[in-house]
Amino acid sequence: MSKKNNKFPLNLVIAGFGGQGVLLAGKLIAEAGLHEGREVSWIPSYGPEMRGGTANCTVILSDSEIGSPVVENPDVLMILNRPSMDKFLPSLKKDGICIYNKSIIEGFTPRSDVKMIAIPASEIADKIGSTKLLNMVLVGSFMANSKAFSEESLAYALKKSTSAKHQNLLPLNEKAILEGAKYI
């Protein structure tokens, strides 16, 4: 288990297109935090479209009781597409962290008062075997950068959240997480 530190509460927004695994990424982070004994909140939000519409979720990890699950000014953003960058980057706290998929996000004005971490998530995922793993690459990058939970807790969360039908995908997801962490 990770040692508790003064980075909590940690407020995170994950955003992208539906079908990119935004909600699963948030669920895994929340589950890993729960496994470490933290208070957690996970709230998904998505448009009426099943794929291609917008999707985002908020995750709060805390060492104490969470008063409100609403995240207006996140500490960390995990951004999977350009429309989400345009929508959420202005709300990021000063000195916050924006982890984003530089494979498909370009042409925006980065903020100088936050840490911008560009990950070639789509390329990394493609080398592993499927661009659908880009969410796991970014989760691994978040884990390595935030140190909000251990690799063991994330592995536990991944196993717990993967249905019996998809157990065969665990090794690829684990590899994507490790590659994202290694990139940091």
pLDDT at 163: 86
The reply to whether CATH 3.30.1330.60 applies to domain 10-183 is no
pLDDT at 6: 62
pLDDT at 54: 83
The series of mean pLDDT values per 10 residues for the chain, 184 residues long, is: 66 95 96 97 81 87 95 97 96 98 95 98 96 97 97 96 89 97 94
pLDDT at 49: 60
pLDDT at 46: 79
- 3-state SS string for the chain: CCCCCCCCCEEEEEEEECCCCHHHHHHHHHHHHHHCCCEEEEEEEECCCCCCCEEEEEEEEECCCCCCCCCCCCCEEEECCHHHHHHHHHHCCCCCEEEEECCCCCCCCCCCCCEEEEECHHHHHHHHCCHHHHHHHHHHHHHHHHCCCCHHHHHHHHHHHCCHHHHHHHHHHHHHHHHHHHHC
Q: Which two tokens stand for residue 41?
A: 């909140």
Tokens 């709060």 -> residue: 60
Q: Which two tokens stand for residue 33?
A: 């935090």
Which one, of 73, 78, 120, 123, lies nearest residue 99 by Cα? 78
